[in-house]
Amino acid sequence: MTTPRAGSGDPARTIALLWRHALPTPSPRRGPRQGLDVDLLVERAVALADADGLEAVTMRKVASVAGTAPMTLYTYVPGRAELIDLMLDHLYARMPRADVAGLPWRERVRTVADENRELLETHPWAASVSTTRPTLGPGATAKYDHELAALDGLGLDDVTMDAALDWVLAFVQGWARSAAAAAATRQDTAMDEEQWWATAGPLLERAMDPAAYPLASRVGTASGQAQGGAWDPGRAFEFGRERVLDGLTPLIKRG
pLDDT digits (tens, 9 = 90+) for 12-35: 999 999 999 886 655 555 544 446
pLDDT over threshold 70, residue 255: no
pLDDT over threshold 70, residue 1: no
pLDDT for 78-136, tens place per residue?
999 999 999 999 999 999 999 999 999 999 999 999 999 999 999 999 999 999 999 99
Q: In the structure, what pLDDT confidence band is assigned to residue 241 with cuts at 50, 70 and 90?
A: very high
- 137 near 19, Cβ under 8 Å? yes
pTM, 2 dp: 0.89
Give me the pLDDT at residue 158, please.
96
Least confident interval from 12-26, 36-50, 142-156: 12-26
> Could you tell me the CA-to-CA distances from 110 to 106, 117, 153 in Å, in that order?
6, 11, 16
Give me the pLDDT at residue 101, please.
92
Cα–Cα dist 80/202, whole Å: 47
> Could you tell me the CA-to-CA distances from 205 to 196, 219, 220 in Å, in that order?
14, 14, 11
**CA-CA-CA-CA torsion sign (211, 214, 220, 226):** positive
Residues 6+ apart with CB under 8 A from 189: 196
